[in-house]
Amino acid sequence: MTPAEAWAAVVAGEDAAIYAYQVAGGRVAASDRRAARAGLDAHRQRRTRAAALLEQAGGEQPAGDSSYALPDSVARPRGARRLMADVDLALVPVYADAAGAAQGDDRRWAARAAADCATSAMAWGASAQAFPAGPTAYAFPAGPTA
């Protein structure tokens, strides 16, 4: 995988995570909303940096979807937490691939982002995993929103 391909995958994954956090963040319990906003901000910041790295690598920004198909369960607080855990877990291997394709500070940043996503997923209720990887089917196909 080239650095441009890796950063493009990160940007696409962060686009999906931002969308999911925007939807789910408003549907979690009031006590979880501050954490959801912080998670959304973190995804936005990581997406911005990944987009800059993609540009530096000579890649093109992936076309983002205007909406993503989300599970019906996101309408309830427990389902919203599960969605945020799933999207964070799904980003762990994406960032691991980016770390493998990068060097120096960019590699360290990608590895730290992978760890941060795994930690966030656990905070939202995901089980601890030796090698975190979210549901690989969580590609967030375009479709109607929940």
Give per-residue pLDDT as tens, 24-58.
999 999 999 999 999 999 999 999 999 999 999 99
- What φ, ψ does residue 91 adopt, rounded to 5°? -80, -20
User: Quick one: three-class SS letters along the chain?
Assistant: CCHHHHHHHHHHHHHHHHHHHHHHHCCCCHHHHHHHHHHHHHHHHHHHHHHHHHHHCCCCCCCCCCCCCCCHHHHCHHHHHHHHHHHHHHHHHHHHHHHHHCCHHHHHHHHHHHHHHHHHHHHCCCCCCCCCCCCCCCCCCCCCCC
Please, which pLDDT band fits residue 69 given cuts at 50, 70 and 90? Answer: confident
Mean pLDDT of the chain: 87
Distances (CA, A) of 113 to 63, 96, 97, 118, 125: 22, 9, 11, 9, 18
What percent of the chain has a predicted confidence (pLDDT) above 70?
87
Domain ranges of the chain: 3-123
**Six-digit token string for 108:** 């360290």
pLDDT tens digits, 6-27: 999 999 999 999 999 999 999 9
pLDDT surpasses 80 at 112:
yes
The mean pLDDT value for 126-133 works out to 72
Please, which pLDDT band fits residue 144 given cuts at 50, 70 and 90? Answer: very low
CATH dotted code for 3-123:
1.20.1260.10
Question: pLDDT value at position 74?
Answer: 86
